[in-house]
Chain A
């Protein structure tokens, strides 16, 4: 049987009514748990995996796919509506999405996230089916020096997302980089900046920091304003659906987000967040409405959300083709596959084609169910914003705290949540952007480890960083991204000066 026959066969199994119901239950459960801030897809899948054991292999695989995609998607809803990213890969979504929600455009924001996730999931799942073996070869070429170059590119491009003041943005970034140094150094096993506190040995959890900075900091900020604060939140302005303009502005970011997210998800040390950062930076560069960025630009939701979901499918590439679980979520999925006697590895496509294609068909169905579940709910979700402010923010505090305790039952973790919440509040008051702190915490350790690994392998020879073609190309792109805007700005200023001079005549 050929590829298509297997896929069709898998789809035929998956569209049986009972299996469709399993898929719906899976995405509902996955979304429900994924919505909790602090509880990311990994924990969601770990918690819900036992639910699937009681079913026959086909049914459980389908429900499982639903839980996976549902968990990945769940975080974006709270990001957009409540400025509370449920997981690190939906942090960027909060930047523009929440601004849109406050301007009464929560409906289109949720819709572009849902449809973008669907489009990205569809394309990426098909890519998984047909080009996985080629993608994985590319991913393996990436060694420490190539990753380091990628991180440099990510640093340079996301710095454009740092708001208006470069100094304030960089200050925030360095707070994040400092926080990233806390804990056991991965390469030597020595502790840094932990001051003898055992809870700090593993460093600062990204989700704890993100939830604290975004949700707790925001709540404190709103509460501190009391009744004086302008009631900016407008539940619904215009249609809750996407207008023709929204569609026109969304479809390109969806496709670009997919193209960025899928290969990065497939890289063993890529991580979904990096795809979302790069997608956001790309959209900001390419948009025709630069003035809207920072105030609720739909491209800034559409691109990163597509990248996020595409990288979820990308993660499955090394898992299915090499048996490489590259994320915690993937490691749990591996455990799930083993329940069906599926041993992921290089021979999987040859030895177990039915199950692999069954899984891919299930992912397509789950992706579709996610859309079916979420589009009609958008009207309901945006009503959340009509809840009176004190109730709404009390609820956010409750969920942020519950989610953090649920993920890691520790008093210290809770203390950190509150301390970083205060930091987030202070930074808001003084006008420092929040996102760079989280970006620093995520990218800092990755860049440091890859650089040190590269130098360790080359025994200290620094030229190794530039001699690989891929690394060199990435570094050149990074350099261009840094220099070109400077030149443009300089030239722009020149023109303005020239005009001024001319008008004096």
Chain B
């Protein structure tokens, strides 16, 4: 059975079509893997019966020659996505037990393409966090371990997704990225994660964190797998007013196209204090790989980068404070009764929301308050436009940008949870793309001296995911990243 888990998505599709393996076998292997790695706490709900029923249907479609793009491929779903008839909680106590009567557009697209739903994956509560430590279900654990064998965070907020793909308890997984919540955990777990252009994937049916920044994207083991999954996920959706009608490029075909003649920008502002030297070394290595593959490397400047993080931590909480107002105990989810309506709101929200969520609601409420709005929210929006302007200018010169994905490798569980400001710094390289609405991909580039994965990030023009896949494909090949995590299903360790 271990052989099944070795297959990446493209290989598994091939084996399924050749009837070398069945969808039921593959799904059974992944359900077993999820059980075997339960200690990583990356699943919050495993839907084994549902998965096996879907797999049986997939096998029928494969037999009848009607296989979809993702036919028979087992997929884990971040708990932020609403899945019909299956508990969807955003890993918050306030939604514990909530079972939506509807399916998010993105997951509906995956199932329509033949994907097999394995279960719901752990994440930071309402996607607020960078280590998957704010989840009401407890932290998800990174399958990678350092020399000291201490439990590491998988990153966040899509920590469960990255952990599961790395641990091979999901062949692929969905994530959402508001400030780096796909790219940072992908880098921490040594997998590939794409945040598409804002508007590329529908937000309908995804629990909202910050509406103007949220974007769903795929986690996979390889770049080619990622392009495959992304092709199935993306769609124009009339139910999301911010969804694009721009046609989707040929992403699958782009992966092997190389970077010959491409201009790649290296932004000088992506060097910060306290950054691991190994991160800088990898970044330089990445530049060399691309140069060797025929790209022209160009130094560029994104002068407003340093304002991105503060602007993000105003805009995202502002939107969140309003988006989370609906969790009021009236219609669904948790309710703590009290004598008055206001009392019920206070008791319910105090009990239902964790500390980080409450912190961001407070910040967001503050920055939108009369007398503070102009100084914070309005100014942050101006900064946002300047950051967008920086990228627009850079993309006049270059086709894509190469940066580190994170300033460090994964850190131990519990190390940063009590220091919110340091925690926020995890997002320093990823946040600008969200503010500007640009696509970004994280690709594993190598390991630290402690044996932990590090990622490179490629940023591109709006709706030009194809270029990201071309660059990522070259990086992946050059890196030859074959190291596997210690706590992997069916693994040696």
Q: Are A and B genuine complex partners? A: no
